[in-house]
Amino acid sequence: MTFERVDLSEDVTLYRGDCLEVLPTLGRVDAVVTDPPYGMGYVIDKRFGNGGRSRLWNEKREWDIITPKLHDFVSSLCKYEKVIIWGGNYYAFPPTKCWLIWDKVQEFSGADAELAWTNLDKATKIFRMSRIDAYVNRADCPKEHPAEKPISLMMWCLSFLLESITVIDPFMGSGTTGVAAVKLGRRFIGIEIDAGYFEIAKRRISEALAQPPLFRLTPLQADAARPGEAEQLALDAAQLKHDG
């Protein structure tokens, strides 16, 4: 069992290694928020050919294969107390009343929305942000992973986890969940197997740490907050359209 641990701060720890090996060695966490692979690169290549994707897809796609072992591991994440898993409709989870939906507004050849499975005791919620706002109008913050989610989307996810101080992402990718957690003053643990994406995540999260958080939630504040008060602050922060 070999993996590298990097502590970016007392509240942020990153692991470069296989999440199937790393996660069992860790203690309790409050919430799992992640976006595991679900084979979309291979589906699109089959439909459009190798020239139908960006250089990011063509650089490396091994991480995008769903193996039986990976399927079982992702499905096992539902045992955690609070869970949000993007692409959750591609895995075997129990029924849920709370899907989180990213409505991409414009209609293209790809999916018009993405779904996250959750075990939250809430109603289904929708986040609306066009592909243009998410990926094109970001000259100051270009996309660095083919499956990268907007930071504001992940901040929106965390706004439903008001009581969760420590968040873990076993499939960290380029670190968007970590950036969102840092911006909202949460503790974060990230795991990424790809060395290149690990370095990107480390850089992005370090840059976020260098800025004051938009909102900081301590355990005492979580216990004392009036219903909806702190959650509204987090939601307000999540509506920022510029992910700087």
Per-residue pLDDT of the chain (244 residues; tens, 9 = 90+): 588 999 999 999 999 999 989 998 998 889 999 999 876 544 444 444 444 444 444 444 554 565 667 778 888 898 899 999 999 888 889 999 999 999 988 766 567 899 999 999 999 999 988 876 665 555 445 566 666 788 889 999 999 998 888 999 999 999 999 999 999 989 999 999 989 999 999 999 999 999 877 665 544 444 444 444 444 445 555 554 444 4
Note whether residue 243 is domain-resident.
no
The count of domains in the chain is 1
Q: What is the pLDDT of residues 55-93, one digit of tens each?
A: 444 444 554 565 667 778 888 898 899 999 999 888 889
Note whether residue 74 is domain-resident.
yes
Encoded amino acid at 75, one letter = S
Note whether residue 191 is domain-resident.
yes
Note whether residue 85 is domain-resident.
yes
Residue 234 confidence (pLDDT) = 52
Domain range for 51 is 4-238
Note whether residue 62 is domain-resident.
yes
Q: CA 110 → CA 60, 91, 114, 144, distances in Å?
A: 21, 19, 10, 20
Note whether residue 244 is domain-resident.
no
**Residue 115 maps to which CATH number?**
3.40.50
Note whether residue 108 is domain-resident.
yes
Note whether residue 234 is domain-resident.
yes
Task: Indicate the pTM of the whole model.
Answer: 0.79
